[in-house]
Every structure is written in structure tokens, then in C-alpha cells.
Chain A
Amino acid sequence: MTLLAVERIKLFSTRSPYWCSALALVLGVGLTAIIAASTDNGQLTLGVTQFGSSQLALSVVLVMAALAVTTEYRFSTIRATFLAVPNRTSALLAKTVVVAFIAGVLGEIIAFGSVGIAKVLSPASDLAINTSGEWRHVAGVGLLYGIGAILAIAVGILVRQTAGAVAILLVWNMLLEQLIGIIPKAGVKIQAWLPFMNANHFLQLGGDNAAEQAGAGIDFKLSQWGSLGYFAGVAVALLVVALIVAKRRDA
């Protein structure tokens, strides 16, 4: 608990988490607002309200989480941290828990905020959240952010430099996994096992506009919850590697 309090103080006594959160909120909810405003009243579906949260804002949250680690290396406060808490694994785990939790809460705010603004701008559309699939589609965004944050922190610990970590995360999430689909035949099969593809699979709503949603056309071998588990597994595995490296490396 002590270490969680420490990481909370550290995170909230600098400005970058506030800026990143605000940016994620504006991008996520803002995109939904634009979509809602440009769609005929009554035609908006729940499936399109989460484009902003699951694609655009997710990237900002990944950057925020990576920054929480890389700025510590950038300003050498990681050394001050390891002097105060020589057990590096607990110190870094505490940071992961705090950042992942904040990312999760932020995810819920953005997801439900997006639905809310869609309802306001397109009151005639059916945007009710009734089925378990619909709940997963909206509330699942928070889980995605939390796990994404774990993955981003792992990358941050391994790379240590802001520019490098941010580049890796953005290219991986926004470009690489999509581009692999270009490879004939094998591409789609590989995509079925890529972490962010599985993350999107977890959110998939199915139904009428399934073809428009991210991850469409990929033959996933896992159930939707299985895909989330897989995404989490990759994130945790990466974190374990990062913690081992951090423990062995000279600070």
C-alpha cells in the first residue's frame, strides 16, 4: 500500500498525466461527437460510438503509461526510486498497478462519455446498452486500457527512452498489426494471434455492421473473452521480462 501511495504522489505531482488524460478524453469523445454529428439522426449505432475510444484514445493512453516510466529514466528519478525502494520489482509493480488502474478508469469515462455524447447529438438513434455483448463493447474499453497500460509500461522499462518507447507502441498498435494483413493468405492467420488485434476482437459487437469494425475478416481462434485473456497474457509476459531486465541492469 505504501508503494502504491508513493507512485500515486509521483504521478499526480507532474503535469503529463493530466494532459494525456485530457487529450485522450477529447480525442475519444470528440471523434464520436464528429461521427454522431455527421450521421443522420436515428442511423447511429452503438458499434460506431467506440471508434474513438478503442483506436485513437487508446494510443494516447499507451503513450501516457510509457511516459510514466520513461520520464523516470529521463530525469534519473528512477535511481532515486531504487534508492528509496531497493526492491525494484515491487517499486515497478506498484507503478504498473497505479497506472493501469488510472488507465482503466479513464477508459470507462471515455467509453461511456462517447455513448453519452452520441445520445445527445443523435437522440433518435437506438444506443441503449442491453445485451452482454453491448456491455462488453462499451465497458470493455476500460479493461483494454488497463491491459494496454501494462504492456506500455513493460515497453517503457525495456526501452527507457521516451521517443523509442512511444514510436514502438504507436507503430505496433496503429500500423504494424494492420499491415501484416497485407501478406497474402498467411497475413490474416498471423493477425489472429497479434495482441492488439485480439484486443479489438474482444470489443467486437458483431451484428449488422460487423464488417466495419476493427478486426473484421480475421478468423480468430479464441472466444472474445479468450482474446482478452490472450492480450493480457502478452502484456504480463512482457512485463515479467521487463522486471527481470530491470532487476539485473545497473540503474
Chain B
Amino acid sequence: MIEAVRLQKHYGKTKAVDDLSFTVRPGRVTGFLGPNGAGKSTTMRMILGLDTPTGGDVTIDGKHYAQLSQPLRKVGALLDAKWVHPNRSARSHLKWLAVSNRIPVSRVKEVLEIVGLTEVAHKNAGGFSLGMSQRLGIAGALLGDPEVLLFDEPVNGLDPEGILWIRQFMHRLAEEGRTVFVSSHLLSEMAQTAQDLIVIGKGQLIAQTSTEQFIADATQDTVRVRSPHAAKLREILAAHATVTDDSVSGSLVVHGIPAQQIGELAAENQIVLHELSPQRGSLEEAFMQLTKESVEYHAH
């Protein structure tokens, strides 16, 4: 279990992480979601003792990372797949990691097998593609067979096959009872990967809930209606729901009442309908809605 209590990280006046509290439970994949620059990586680095918090505290099973005697046996992390010397072979990279935590060197072969890098083990990591680097990073995280795993944007830049592999892999790790904490700036990705979500924006907590609940809360059902008597219909519907115009298609978007009721209202008033289609709000829209306020860098 990872527990953050009022965690803070300030760089001068910038608050990268601001009063952030959350818990990550074992046996589940917990997604750490937020737009770029929201403070996800900074938070992960504080969990791992690389950065010192300005205030607050974060512990892994009640201990600071620095207090773990052989940390790789407890926590496996992949923060950046490029944290490898380009002129060192994959095997040598894993070997020094193993030796540092008294993990049997035979384990290197096992993890290379798990991530499917056995054949390139002797090759220098500098020549690896992003996907291969990512696999090497995961091999490093798995080396000590840890209970807690942290992945920072593990699917960034991967091809669909690689994404699927990582997703299934994380599920398997959670099913084995491990704590899996994975960050992403894509809700659609998290929706398929994570069971729980911790959503942050501008360093602050926006929500901590199950993914299902988050999506249900965030996405509202709407109904798209097209009619030759749009103005009249709009008047009638406005009494029961919120109506907005879709200027592109010239149709009305109705929030708050189901399609069935719209149809009945139209019939009562003898209005012809050309389209009546219920829409499910997209995840990305919902996410943008939620984090709109907290996006650090806007495009204008």
C-alpha cells in the first residue's frame, strides 16, 4: 500500500504538487491520471525518495523508500525507460541492479524471458527501440519480485501490440495481489487498464474513486435531435431540459431528459423529427471537462 499525506513539492513559487493525499491499495491496478505537467512524475519521484517533498509525507507500507534495506525486492519502478547507459548491454544493466540488492543473478535471465528480450540481452541498450527500452525497464522493475510496482506513462510511444501487452501484464501483476500504480495522461487508456483512479490537476487531487464510478459521474448522457421545426422544438424542450445548439450539424443537443421523453413531447406538439439519437459522452470530453481548470499549458 502506498500512502500520501498532504504531500507538497514547491519549486520556488510554483507548486508542482500541492497538498496531495491518496492511498493506493494492493491487488488492484490504480491509475494516476492527470494532464501533462499535473505533477504525476514529481509525485512518483517523491514516493521513490528521488525528490524530497517540501511538505507532507509519503510511505510504502508505512516506511519511507529510503528506509527499505533492499528496496528493489519491495518496490519495482519504471519511471523512464531511458535511464540506461547506452553502451551497456541489457544483461549487464540488469546484473548490476540484481547484485546491488543481493538478488540472485540467475533472476536476470528469468526477467529477460518474461519481457521477451532474451535474444537481445547481450546488445547495448542504446540501440533499443522505445518499445524494447520499455520492456527492459519493466524487466528491471520485476527483478526483485516486488509487491509494489510503479510505472510512469508506460505506454507512451508504444505500438498497439505493446500497449496491449503492458495492459494485460499489469492486470496479471495486480491479480497476483501486488500493488500496481500506473500514471497516464490518457483517460481512455486508464479506463481499460485501471480499476481505481486517482485524478490530479495542477498538483491537486481532483478525484479518488473507482474507474467505473468516475466514468459514470463524468460522462452525461445527451440526446441529439434534428427537426425542421428546430426553433419551436427548442422552446418546448427548454422547459424540461438544457438544450444547446450544435452549429456544425444544425441539430439540438439535449441534456437531462431521455430520448423517449423527447419523442413523446415532439408527438404531443406535432413536430416532425428527422433524428433522435442518444449519445454517450466520450471519456476524453469528460476528462477535459474535469481538468480544464487545471491544465497548465493551453494552446491558443
Binding site for B on A (CB under 8 A): 2-3, 5-6, 9-10, 13-16, 71-72, 75-77, 79-87, 248, 250-251
Complex Cα spacing A81 to B50, Å:
10
Contact indicator A86/B96 (Cβ below 8 Å): no
Query: Whose C-beta in chain B lies nearest to the C-beta of A249?
Result: B52
B80 at the interface (CB under 8 A from A): yes
Return A233 CB to nearest CB of chain B, in Å: 30
**Contact A83/B71 with A75-B85, A251-B50 known, Cβ cut-off 8 Å:** yes
Question: Which of A16, A86, A87, A251 has the most CB atoms of chain B within a 10 A radius of its CB?
Answer: A86
Return A130 CB to nearest CB of chain B, in Å: 45
B149 at the interface (CB under 8 A from A): no
Complex Cα spacing A9 to B89, Å:
11
Contact indicator A75/B49 (Cβ below 8 Å): no
Binding site for A on B (CB under 8 A): 45, 48-52, 65-66, 68, 71-72, 77, 79-80, 82-89, 92-93, 95-97, 99-102, 140
Contact indicator B99/A9 (Cβ below 8 Å): yes
Residues of A within 8 A of B72 (CB): 83-84
Contact indicator A76/B82 (Cβ below 8 Å): yes
Complex Cα spacing A248 to B79, Å:
21
Further pairs besides A76-B82, A250-B45: 9, Cβ < 8 Å:
A2-B99, A9-B96, A10-B85, A13-B95, A75-B85, A79-B79, A80-B83, A80-B84, A83-B50
- Interface class of chain A by DSSP: helix
16 examples of A-B residue contacts, CB within 8 angstroms: A5-B99, A6-B99, A9-B92, A13-B92, A14-B87, A14-B88, A71-B85, A75-B85, A76-B80, A77-B83, A79-B50, A79-B83, A83-B50, A84-B97, A85-B100, A86-B68
Contact indicator A75/B50 (Cβ below 8 Å): no
Return A57 CB to nearest CB of chain B, in Å: 23
* Selected contact of A84 from candidates B71, B79, B84, CB within 8 Å: B71
Contact indicator A83/B48 (Cβ below 8 Å): yes
* Selected contact of A87 from candidates B66, B82, B97, CB within 8 Å: B66
Complex Cα spacing A85 to B69, Å:
8
Residues of B within 8 A of A77 (CB): 83-85
Query: Whose C-beta in chain B lies nearest to the C-beta of A81?
Result: B100
Query: Whose C-beta in chain B lies nearest to the C-beta of A13?
Result: B92
Query: Whose C-beta in chain A lies nearest to the C-beta of B143?
Result: A84
* Selected contact of B101 from candidates A9, A84, A250, CB within 8 Å: A84
Contact indicator B100/A15 (Cβ below 8 Å): no
Query: Whose C-beta in chain B lies nearest to the C-beta of A94?
Result: B100
Complex Cα spacing A236 to B34, Å:
45
Residues of B within 8 A of A6 (CB): 96, 99-100
Return A241 CB to nearest CB of chain B, in Å: 19
Residues of B within 8 A of A14 (CB): 85, 87-88
Return B223 CB to nearest CB of chain A, in Å: 51
